[in-house]
Amino acid sequence: MGKEFPGWHGTTIIGVRKSGQVVIAGDGQVSLGQTVIKGSARKVRRLSPGGNDVIAGFAGSTADAFTLLERLEAKLEAVPGQLSRAAVELAKDWRMDKYLRNLEAMLIVTDGKDLFVITGAGDVLEPENDVAAIGSGGNFALAAARALMDTDANAETIARRAMTIAADICVYTNGNLTVETIGG
């Protein structure tokens, strides 16, 4: 029997790519069990390794996510402008390294061209339909964004609307958004 990990119940992160614009948005709620600890956390960050913009959003343990973001930044500095390669290298390390293997978080990352979900199982997933979502409200946000992709709305509008819908449904998600955009 595995250990219970309450950290997955506390956030929603969505990535949307449309018409040359890529957006990652995340809510600000941090919950511990049934209690809201903080409502204004920033779970979406802009990284600039080697002068190249990369946006990353995380779900799961904050300390673990920051460790992974630091590792991703180091990988990007080693292979500037190659998010795909850096993401694969991070996923390999995450799966194989004795210390990293225990980290409990997920990432959505973009450089404005690529959009990936990176997991501790060694996955680097490029989403179908240009939408990716993680966290406790991720499936709600994903469904909403996919439904909005055929509208005239841009990527940022789709991400914001999808997050509003997720916040209305998921008790572990709020409407205090951090939104970062590349392109468009």
pLDDT in tens, 130-165: 999 999 999 999 999 999 999 999 999 999 999 999
Mean pLDDT of the chain: 90
Higher-pLDDT residue of 135, 101: 135
Q: Is 35 among the catalytic positions?
A: no
Please report the pLDDT score of residue 70 as a whole number.
Answer: 93
Higher-pLDDT residue of 5, 109: 109
CA distances, 43 to each of 10, 20, 58, 59 (Å): 11, 23, 6, 7
The Cα 86–Cα 49 span in angstroms is 11
Domains of the chain: residue spans and CATH: 6-183 (3.60.20.10)
Please report the pLDDT score of residue 4 as a whole number.
Answer: 46
In angstroms, the first-to-last Cα distance of the chain is 47
Residue 34 has pLDDT above 60, yes or no: yes
- 177, two tokens: 């958004």
Please report the pLDDT score of residue 46 as a whole number.
Answer: 94
Mean per-residue pLDDT, 65-83? 92
Of 7-11, 46-50, 66-70, 175-179, the poorest mean pLDDT is in: 7-11
At 169, which helix (H) or strand (E)? helix 155-169
Please report the pLDDT score of residue 100 as a whole number.
Answer: 83
Question: What length does the chain have?
Answer: 184
Residue 60 has pLDDT above 90, yes or no: no
Residues 66, 44 contacting (CB under 8 angstroms): no
The Cα 56–Cα 58 span in angstroms is 7
pLDDT tens digits, 1-10: 344 444 445 6
Please report the pLDDT score of residue 9 as a whole number.
Answer: 52
Q: Which of 11, 12, 173, 181 is catalytic?
A: 11
Of 37-41, 99-103, 126-130, 136-140, the poorest mean pLDDT is in: 99-103
Mean per-residue pLDDT, 116-133? 93
Please report the pLDDT score of residue 99 as a whole number.
Answer: 81
